[in-house]
Structures are given as structure tokens and as C-alpha cells.
Amino acid sequence: MDQAGTPGTSGFGDVVLEVDDLVTTFRTPDGVAPAVDGVSFEVRAGETLGVVGESGCGKSVTALSILGLVPSPPGCVERGTALLGDRDLLALPERTLADVRGNEIAMIFQEPMTSLNPVLTVGYQIAETVRRHDGGTRPGAMRRAVEMLDLVGIPEAQRRAREYPHQLSGGMRQRAMIAMALSCEPKVLIADEPTTALDVTIQAQVLDLIRELQGRLGTAVILITHDLGVIAETAHRVVVMYAGRKVEEADVTTLFDAPRHPYTRGLLASVPTLDALRDGAAGERRLAEIPGVVPKLTGLPDGCAFAPRCPLADGRCASTRPAFEEQRPGHSAACWHAHTAREAAREAGQ
């Protein structure tokens, strides 16, 4: 894998999508839940931005907000901008935005049936996406659909194109959805847990496929996942979210080598790794736990949302929310004790 050099900028093209201060809330019986609270990031052509965090931390709502797909009510995009080129997606009328979706920005989901129509053949659905994109003829679009199915590694693409989604295996459906998402050669691909439901063998195939197509088309990819292994293998830069907020951002090597936020450090310590044994290290070590549970969004503490679970929390953490600040070039975190966290990590033998 390539080593990302200077964090954030090297080796990639221009900024394609720039999200700034996104706030999305949901009205719930317990009050207003800030599902996404002031999230900002950018992604460049050819770059993969990983977004990681536990369930409910706002990863999917971030993606849905950018695409104008937040169900409203109960949801509401309250604030922020999402610049694609010089257009703000959050300000576009729905009709224009519908054109942008599946054209300049495409999305793939964990569950392929959310984007595949069960009563239409796979080939027809991809062909329609192609036609909407380039306005070409039906037979031409069908040929392109078969090409795309072939490209994503579906055997006998010609025959499979005439089949319905339920006739494909789970892995093939996922690949068909990727074929559809990429058939319009989007500038940005948002993949929300694209491999979570798949076996590791199929996951490896799908991730390789996304990477390969990204290399060929220069697509900017936003990869949302809770799997740190997938992040390490796929992302160039990583955003860590907790309770609707961005708590850390760095290039992938820095994030894994020198995490500054106690939550990131807790996550990294809590996953068992195959390497422990392969490298002859102790396999019997007790997994580090992050105590407690993810807080309810309607009752977040005034200060740092992670304070109730954080080993470093003190009075200031409980009362005042830490700002998201640059710790060193290209590496930011929202923590009063980001410095201490670094020292602790070093002592732990980094």
C-alpha cells in the first residue's frame, strides 16, 4: 500500500467535495437529537476518506445529508454547506439534486436491495442510469451495462444482465450495485458500510474492485465503516466520529501510529488482531475495554461527549466542550488532553 506522505494533500487531485459545519437533527419523543453536529471535511480526486465510529454516531446521516436523502420530518439539515465544485448541494432544489445523485455523486449501501429494484432486471437498471447520465440510446446503454457488470467481475455478464436481483448471490448483488453506482463515472462515490454484510472473501474482492476503479477513474471515495481493518487497508485519510461530532482526523498511518484522542486509542486497543499471533506476540492478552455505552444524543453532557467513558476525564472535560484543533499539521483532535494522550501512547510502547 502507498504511504500517504504529507497528510491530507499529497498525491491527490483537487478538492472535489467540501463539507463545512454540517448540522442535522432529528425530532424524537425525547427531544431534538443532534445526529450530526458541526461536521466538516473535504475529499480530493483519487483519494479515499475513511469515516469510522460506532453505530449511531452519525456516519450514515452525514452521507444522507450530503445527498439530500434525510427523511424530513423527523430529520432536518439545519446548517452547513456541501460544495461540489462551486455548487452547494445543501442549497440545491430537489430536482437539480436528483440529477446530481447517480451522476456526479453516487452512493452504495450496506444492503444492495435499497438501491436495486426487485422487479427490474439488473441490466435494465444499470442501462437506465447510463441513459440518464449520457442521454444515449437504449441498446448502447445496455451494452455499457453489460460492460460494467463484466468490469465488476460478474461472470457471464451478458446472461446476468437479464436476471433479476434475487437471482444473484449477496456478493454479486453488491457488485451489481457498484456497477450501477460507477456506470455514470461519478466524481464522488459514497460507500456506506459496503462490505459489512459480506464474507471476508467477498469483502476483499469488493474492496479491491472499488480501489481499482478509483485508480482508473480518479473517483473521490468516502468510505464509511466501523471496521478498523477495512479503514487501514483502504483509506488514505480518516475521520473518527463520536456522538455526532468529528473527534479526530489524520492520515491513516498517523491515526494508527499516534492517535491523539482517547476514544480513537480505545477503539484501536479493543479490536483483536490476527497479527498478534502471526507475529508471535501474546495472543492471550485481555482485550482493552471502553467502559460504558455510547451516550444518548438527546442527553449529551455539556462538556466532552466522551467524558463519561474517558480514562483521562477531569472537571474541565465534564463542563467545557473541547474544540476541534490542529495538533500538528494535518492531524486534528477534539480533546483537552490530546497532549497527554500522546505521551500515554508513547509510554505504552509505540
Partner 1 sequence: MTGAAPPAGVGPVLEVDGLRKYFVSPRRLLGPQAGVVHAVDGVSFTIEARETLGLVGESGCGKSTVGRTVLRLLKPTDGTIRLLGDDITRLESRALRPYRRRMQIIFQDPYSSLDPRMTAGDIAGELLGVHGVSSRAERHERVAELFSRVGLRRDQIGNYPHEFSGGQRQRLGIARALSLQPSLIVCDEPVSALDVSIQAQVINLLMDLQAEYGLSYLFIAHDLAVVEHISHRVAVMYLGRIVEFADKRELFANPLHPYTESLLDAVPVPDPRRVRRRRIVRGDVPSPIDRPSGCHFHTRCPYAVERCRHEDPALREVAPGHRVACHLR
- Kindly state whether residue 110 participates in binding partner 1, applying the rule CB under 8 A: no
- What cell numbers appear for 52 in the block? 469510522
Give whole-number Cα distances, 68 to 76, 115, 173, in Å: 10, 15, 25
- Considering the complex, state which of residue 217 and residue 300 has its C-beta at the smaller distance from ligand ADP: 300
DSSP state of 308: G
In the numeric block, the cell 465510529 is attached to 53
Is the CB of residue 47 less than 8 Å from the CB of residue 236?
yes
C-alpha 140: how far from its chain's center?
A: 33
First to last CA, the chain: 21
Among 78, 79, 205, 321, binds partner 1 (CB under 8 A): 205
Instruction: Name the one range near Mg ion by CB under 5 A: 42-50, 53-61, 161-169, 171-179.
Output: 53-61
**Residue nearest to Mg ion according to CB distances in the complex:** 60
| Pairing relationship of beta strands 75-84 and 188-192 according to DSSP bridges | unpaired
- Considering the complex, state which of residue 41 and residue 256 has its C-beta at the smaller distance from partner 1: 256
Q: Least Å distance between CB 231 and Mg ion? A: 15
- Kindly state whether residue 55 participates in binding ligand ADP, applying the rule CB under 6 A: yes
C-alpha 287: how far from its chain's center?
A: 26
Q: Which does 58 bind (CB under 5 to 8 A by kind): ligand SF4, ligand ADP, partner 1, none?
A: ligand ADP
User: How far is the C-alpha of 53 from the C-alpha of 240, rounded, in Å?
Assistant: 6
Q: Least Å distance between CB 296 and ligand SF4? A: 17
Q: Which residues bind partner 1 (CB under 8 A)?
A: 1, 3, 54-55, 153, 155, 167, 169-172, 199-205, 207-208, 226-234, 252-253, 256-257, 266-268, 270-278, 280, 283, 286-291, 293-294
Contact footprint for ligand ADP (CB under 6 A) = 26, 33, 35, 53, 55-61, 71, 74-75, 297
